[in-house]
């Protein structure tokens, strides 16, 4: 753990703003500099969040000796190239999900982090919340017996904007890459927990999707078969609102997580419900947390710099690589590829 980690942000969209707002709540981090393709936008963002440095070129931020770690918040297709450049510059890396567009790119990014001895983590902030650690413990304990099926959904309706990031194929648009990566990462975690492991990899992936006029998946579902007979159902979308919950079904009952992805963006308690077949009412488990999601994420980076990757259930390198391979398989099954 370090006393204070000086952060730089590459790409200044909405997610970058949420990270910058939460960083002062972390134990370990402070915002040192920001970068955008627009110098004016960078300057305005820096003023808003009290950052000393504001750059109109990403490479200028990477050259700043006052920056220890970078948060990469650019569109998906830019992640790989700038994560590699950040590693080459000796900066520790927190990269927004998905880590890259393909598993091959993820291998290249992980290889760069390994060669240059820097920390790297894919920014699934929900994996840093104590709710997920508690959920994995409950599954591992056999609270609902033998796990047989897992189900998870992350889907919303952003409307139709063919030139926007969510639907433009050139920007890596579509539900699978944008938020489908969440349910895939969770069912892999829970299938692994059922087997006493940190995560598991699907042996088979079969998907269906609505491919819209821009060529990306507007909504999609997949079934995944894991070892030990566990079958998972995942669903996503950027043009369809659904109930965003996660469930684990076992031989003796089932578990419901009402808020798996944003279990209180601000400090508070999250809920896990356990329904036994023999019971009338579910048992409610409250998981308290005094920190915001993005502050937890920043502290996970600082606390694990020496080992260069986070501890589970935060995303390890092997976990991120496995997740990208599963996403590749889902997209392949629906006939969606990117240049």
| Pair of tokens at residue 131 | 């709710």
Mean pLDDT of 211-216: 98
* The pLDDT value given to residue 120: 98
Nearest residue to 199 (alpha-carbon basis) of 267, 122, 259? 122
Strand order of the β-sheet with 53-55 is 53-55, 29-35, 5-10, 69-72, 92-96, 120-123
Half-sphere exposure of 160 (CA within 13 A, CB side): 3
Mean pLDDT of 183-204: 98
With 0-12 CB in 10 A as exposed, 13-18 as middle and 19+ as buried, what is 193? buried
What superfamily would CATH give domain 5-124? NAD(P)-binding Rossmann-like Domain (3.40.50.720)
CB 260 within 8 A of CB 93: no
**Rounded to a whole number, what is the distance in angstroms from the first to the last CA of the chain?**
39
Of 32 and 4, which is predicted with more confidence? 32
* Coil, strand or helix at 221: strand
CB 37 within 8 A of CB 22: no
CB 234 within 8 A of CB 221: yes
* The pLDDT value given to residue 223: 98
For the chain, what is the mean pLDDT? 96
CB 338 within 8 A of CB 200: no
* The pLDDT value given to residue 1: 44
CB 301 within 8 A of CB 23: no
* The pLDDT value given to residue 292: 87
Mean pLDDT of 246-255: 98
Mean pLDDT of 110-134: 97
Q: Which class is 126-334 in CATH?
A: alpha beta
Provide the percentage of residues in the chain whose pLDDT is more than 70.
Answer: 98
Mean pLDDT of 237-256: 98
Sign of CA dihedral 175, 318, 257, 333: positive
pLDDT per residue over 311-329, tens digit each? 999 999 999 999 999 999 9
pLDDT at 269 over 90: no
Give, for 166, the enclosing helix (H) or strand (E).
none
Please tell me the pTM assigned to this model: 0.96
| Pair of tokens at residue 236 | 């996503």
| Pair of tokens at residue 47 | 């003023």
pLDDT per residue over 167-177, tens digit each? 999 999 999 99
Of 266 and 264, which is predicted with more confidence? 264
* The pLDDT value given to residue 30: 97
Mean pLDDT of 46-52: 98
Using CA atoms, how far residue 17 sits from 135, 263, 269, in Å, is: 29, 19, 24
pLDDT at 101 over 90: yes
**Where exactly are the structural domains of the chain?**
5-124, 126-334
With 0-12 CB in 10 A as exposed, 13-18 as middle and 19+ as buried, what is 156? middle
Mean pLDDT of 134-151: 98
Phi-psi region of 240 (alpha: psi -120 to 50; beta: other; left: phi over 0): beta
pLDDT at 2 over 70: no
pLDDT at 48 over 60: yes
pLDDT at 3 over 60: no
């Amino acid at each position: 753990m370090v006393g204070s980690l000086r952060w730089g942000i590459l790409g200044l969209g909405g997610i970058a703003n949420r990270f910058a707002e939460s960083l002062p709540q972390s134990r370990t981090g402070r915002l040192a500099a920001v970068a955008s393709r627009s110098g004016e936008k960078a300057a305005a963002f820096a003023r808003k969040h009290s950052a000393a440095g504001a750059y109109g070129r990403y490479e200028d931020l990477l050259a700043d000796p006052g920056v220890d770690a970078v948060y990469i918040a650019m569109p998906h297709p830019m992640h790989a190239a700038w994560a590699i450049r950040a590693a080459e510059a000796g900066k520790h890396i927190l990269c927004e999900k998905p880590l890259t567009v393909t598993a091959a790119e993820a291998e290249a990014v992980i290889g760069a982090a390994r060669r240059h001895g820097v920390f790297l983590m894919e920014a699934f902030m929900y994996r840093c919340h104590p709710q997920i650690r508690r959920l994995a413990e409950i599954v591992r304990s056999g609270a609902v017996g033998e796990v047989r099926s897992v189900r998870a959904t992350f889907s919303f309706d952003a409307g139709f904007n063919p030139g926007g990031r969510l639907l433009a194929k050139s920007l890596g648009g579509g539900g699978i890459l944008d938020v489908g990566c969440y349910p895939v990462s969770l069912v892999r975690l829970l299938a692994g927990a059922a087997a006493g492991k940190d995560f598991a990899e699907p042996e088979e992936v079969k998907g269906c999707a609505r491919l819209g006029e821009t060529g990306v998946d507007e909504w999609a579902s997949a079934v995944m078969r894991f070892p030990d007979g566990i079958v998972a159902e995942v669903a996503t979308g950027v043009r369809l609102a659904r109930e965003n919950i996660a469930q684990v079904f076992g031989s003796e009952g089932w578990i419901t997580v009402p808020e798996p992805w944003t279990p209180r963006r601000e400090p508070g308690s999250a809920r896990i419900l356990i329904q036994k077949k023999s019971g009338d009412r579910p048992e409610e488990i409250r998981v308290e947390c005094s920190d915001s999601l993005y502050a937890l994420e920043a502290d996970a980076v600082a606390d694990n710099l020496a080992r260069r990757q986070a501890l589970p259930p935060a995303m390890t390198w092997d976990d991120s690589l496995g997740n990208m391979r599963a996403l590749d398989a889902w997209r392949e099954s629906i006939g969606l590829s990117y240049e």
